[in-house]
Amino acid sequence: MKKVLVGMSGGIDSSVVAYLLKQQGYEVEGITMLIWRKDSPYPAPAGPNSCYKPDKSGDLEKIDAICRRIGIRHRVVDCSALYESKVLDNFKSEYMNARTPNPCIWCNALIKFGAMIDEARKSVDFDYFATGHYARTCVIGGRHALLKARDPKKDQSYFLSRLSQEQLSWTLFPLGDLLKSDVRRMDEELGLHEPGEKESQDFYGGSYSDLLQVEPKKGDIVFKDGTRLGVHDGFWNYTIGQRKGLGVAYSEPLYVISLDPDTNTVVVGLKEDTVSKSVRCSNVNFVSYDGFHESSYSVKIRSASPGLEASVEECSGGMRVVFPHGAGALTPGQSAVVYSGDAVVASAIMEKPDD
């Protein structure tokens, strides 16, 4: 009998995954990772709806109860030290360098599918690792491919796009062919959660600036031509493409078009100033294919954005993406994920736009 370790958060999706796999005849065991370190220098979130929080006792009791109901064992793994160094430290460093990171992408690749699995293998043998992510896998030309989920509203392939071939080789996504509505109905029929229970979790339940731990520092908000329009309390409170909350008046709507960490300056412009034709990306992770072999792809520049038509080619240090119709708010530090149909071709980190 094959054994599957299931990442358990206490939510509907992972709970249903554990149940489905047991029904399919696997030996199933749940696993939960702790990512809060007791003496961490990072503050606790202001809100409760957070993956990163100090008191997980309530969550663990809930997960234990769900596992008992399903009839499986449950173990807990402490990944807090690596989470702090690989995710939180990176998050702070990127923001303070005027870049906007994807903490959930790095957490998946380095912690959830990385450090947690490495730690678990020290004490338990298993054949597969499964999660409640909405995505699919298959084999294409000898490579382990990552595909979009059947439910387009729940597809999470963007957040999984940095998984390696090895990680994909032993990963199962049982919900990839299901609709969220079907999963929720199944959960209610099983009585694992209260009907209509809310379950969404953010990376950090509060203002991201709390994690940066920096004092407010006055700086200028300037128009693209250098005209001073106002002041701010720190460039790190702004992101590329931001429109609301700028606190300056102008004859037309203004958008953040660049940030200068050296001078603590926020540069704003008009909507057309946020549009770029191309961007170079670093740290490329090839997934379903080993290179770019097509003339046109669909590229997602944010998790919730639709894919944009683009051509992609390898270049020195990474890849270059060209958008024939332009792309708005290309943000350094964010991930550009390349798709061929439903398949994730590659994922890379955007640098400054070429134009």
User: Locate tokens 């798709």: which residue?
Assistant: 339
Residue 208 has pLDDT above 90, yes or no: no
Instruction: Report which of residues 40 and 248 the model is more confident about.
Output: 248
Could you tell me if 200 and 51 are in contact, meaning their C-beta atoms sit under 8 angstroms apart? Answer: no
pLDDT (0 to 100) of residue 46: 66
Q: What is the pLDDT of residue 200?
A: 62
State both tokens at 16: 């249903």
The pLDDT value given to residue 325: 96
Average pLDDT rounded to a whole number, residues 253-268: 97
Token pair in block for residue 157? 């392939």
Which pLDDT tens digit goes with each residue over 334-352? 999 999 999 999 999 999 8
pTM of the model: 0.94
- Determine the Cα angle at 58 with ends 157 and 102, to 5°: 25
CA 243 to each of CA 100, 231, 294: distance values in angstroms, whole numbers, following the listed order:
16, 15, 35
CB 310 within 8 A of CB 111: no
Ramachandran sector of residue 159 (left: φ over 0; alpha: ψ -120 to 50; beta: rest): alpha
Residue 284 clears pLDDT 80, i.e. is over it: yes
Residue 74, SS3? Answer: strand
- Give the span between the Cα atoms of 130 and 113, in whole angstroms: 10
In this predicted model, what pLDDT tens digit does every residue of 209-240 receive, in sequence order?
Answer: 889 999 999 999 999 999 999 999 999 999 99
Average pLDDT over residues 296-305: 95
Can you give the pLDDT at residue 47? 66
Q: Interior CA angle at 221 toward 216 and 227, to 5°? A: 150
pLDDT of residue 204: 77
Q: Which has more pLDDT, 179 or 202?
A: 179
Instruction: Kindly report which listed range (105-119, 192-206, 300-314) carries the lowest average pLDDT score.
Output: 192-206
CB 216 within 8 A of CB 175: no
91: number of Cβ within 10 Å: 24
